[in-house]
Amino acid sequence: MELNELLKNYREQIDTLDHEIIYLLSRRFSLVKEIWKIKKDNNSQILQSKRWNELMQNLLIEAEDRNVSKKLVSTIWNLIHDESLSVETKI
């Protein structure tokens, strides 16, 4: 296979994964909105530190198992978490 074709093939796969990531984030934030409704109806706190700490611990273990940078995973999930909190407070 020619270099340009090979690169095109890999880039198309990356593009597909990028679109899937956006789709998954959209689904995740939809769930965040549902969780917020439940929390609001039950007078629960928005930030549940124990849940967040357990999630991060598990994600960092998985990242290490899959040879993904723990720093990258931590950065990404902190951004996702911040946005989730922002979504919850906007409802």
| Structural domains counted in the chain | 1
How far apart CA 60 and CA 78 sit, in angstroms, is 12
Look up the domain containing 48 and give its range: 3-90
**Which is nearest to 85 in space by CA: 32, 38, 16, 34?**
32
Q: Quickly list H helices, 1-91.
A: 3-41, 49-65, 70-90
pTM for the predicted model, two decimal places:
0.86
> What CATH number should be reported for the domain holding residue 13?
1.20.59.10
How far apart CA 39 and CA 13 sit, in angstroms, is 38
Q: 10: pLDDT confidence band, cut at 50, 70 and 90?
A: very high
pLDDT digits (tens, 9 = 90+) for 35-57: 999 999 999 988 899 999 999 99
Query: Torsions phi, psi of 47, nearest 5?
Result: -90, 120
